[in-house]
Amino acid sequence: MTYPAAALMILGTAFLLVAALGVIRLRDPLQRMHSATKAGTLGVALLLIGVLLHDRSGADSVGWLTILFLLLTLPIGAQLLARATYVSGTALDGIDDDPLAGELDRAQTPIDV
């Protein structure tokens, strides 16, 4: 049993649990996204590194590729989704003056289904 691998796996899982808790507890979509993308990415990356330290089968390049791909694409996806969230007019909690008010078109009522 390798202790660094176990520690990284536990830490990564803890970050994922906190991220999921934030997705439930925070109050508006942008705050939930802040929890899901930042803590979620860090959690998955730490968990994968821990597993790769433990797994010595020689096939770990796929794992490193997954980490690299996640770090490259999750910020891009989050930016696209945040812009779409703002434009679709979802409720923003705790923001008094909106600095993007004149910059982007925004729906007055949120699109709900």
String of b and e for 64-82 (b: at least 16 CB within 10 Å)? eeebeebeeebeeebeeee
Name the helix (H) or strand (E) containing 23.
helix 3-25
Least distance from other proteins to the Cβ atom of residue 89, Å: 7
What separation in angstroms does the CA of 66 have from each of 36, 57, 61, 71, 74?
Answer: 18, 17, 9, 9, 12
Q: How far is the CB of 94 from other proteins (least distance, A)?
A: 17
Least distance between other proteins and beta carbon 16 (Å): 5
**Residues contributing to the site for other proteins (CB under 8 A):** 1-2, 5-6, 9-10, 12-13, 16-17, 19-21, 23-24, 29, 32-33, 36-37, 40-41, 43-44, 47-48, 50-51, 54-55, 57, 59-60, 62-63, 65-66, 69-70, 73-74, 76-78, 80-81, 83-85, 87-91, 105, 107, 110-113
